[in-house]
Amino acid sequence: MLGIQYKDVPSYPVGYVDTIEMHSLDFEEFLWANGISNQSINDIREYFLKRTPVPAAMHEKMMTLFKEFIVVGGMPRAVNTFVTSQNFSHVLKIQKCIISDYADDIAKYAEGSEKAKARACFLSIPRQLSKDYKKFQYSLVEKNGTARKFGGSLMWLYDAGVINFCHNLAIPELPLEGNAQSDVFKVYMRDTGLLMAMLEDGSQTDIIDGNLSIYKGAIYENIIAEIFTKAGKKLYFFECKSKLEIDFFIRYNNTAVAVEVKSAENTKSKSLDSVIYNHGVKHGIKLSSKNVGGTGLIDSYPLYMAMFL
């Protein structure tokens, strides 16, 4: 939480300090922790670059590791506990302790009335993501809640390294930053494992076993948001008249690329087709549990290949 104590610094030696933004482990680092070699990761990267299917056994192994990453997350102690014990219950205890520590830190560092508001925003995140309409709604924090009351608390959580913002694009084209709407956004947890620990017991098993639930789409969106953020990308989505929504837009190969995230193998996406044929978007990517495929105009990749984007 050092990053939010900047108010207490009496002076700052400009030009003499390097700032390093820290994250929990990303998926590649999680693979290293689980004994996957750089050579194996490079082999998978080759299938990505050549747009050819990954051998079935390798694909199945990577999807298993990816689901484990969703459940375990990247907090170092949680990862170490998983690697040494292979026990999700032990991991969950660690994660719940971290979430409790977050709540304690909010109480310790937030000022005055900000304590209760920041805590309420933090605890509302699972409810926000369980809705089909995932744009952040202050009314889910508190009845008749407003941006005036809770906007500062959300920014506090962002500065504290707990959440990520994903802003809506007015138009789906470059520059993404210039076309983003500051007042229309979704909120994701920076560590998906911690989000999983905030859900009801049994959610971890549901993810590993591939069972669908109301949170399934949100969890998979959150993990892709996490991967993009840890790769240094800001998050954007596109929603038009409540009829068309694209999960993410990224700058990829110097174009604005639409990215749809699917939790199941059914990868049909009317929104992705529409944004390409009606909004001038030149390239789309589907991320799902399916192997590599696609037409060139819309490429399909396994979820674990998001780290190569």
242 vs 45, which has greater pLDDT?
Answer: 45
Nearest to 240 by CA among 271, 277, 269: 271
Residue 95 is predicted with a pLDDT of 96
Model confidence pLDDT, tens digit, residues 75-132? 999 999 999 999 999 999 999 999 998 888 777 777 777 788 888 999 899 888 888 7
- Note the pLDDT tens digit of each residue in 10-34: 676 788 877 788 899 999 999 999 9
Is the distance from CB of 217 to CB of 225 less than 8 angstroms?
Answer: no
- Cβ–Cβ < 8 Å for 271, 246: yes
Q: What is the mean pLDDT of residues 40-60?
A: 97
| Whether residue 295 has pLDDT greater than 90 | no
Q: What is the pTM of this model?
A: 0.92
Question: d(Cα 151, Cα 117) in Å, to the nearest integer?
Answer: 9
Phi, psi of 256 (to 5 degrees): -85, 110
Dist. CA 210–CA 199, nearest whole Å: 16
| Cα of 58 vs its chain's centroid, Å | 24
Q: How many CA atoms lie within 13 A of 205 on its CB side?
A: 4
Using the 8-state DSSP alphabet, how is residue 19 labeled? -
Q: Do the Cβ atoms of 156 and 110 come closer than 8 Å?
A: yes
Length of the chain: 309
Residue 26: both structure tokens together: 């990303």
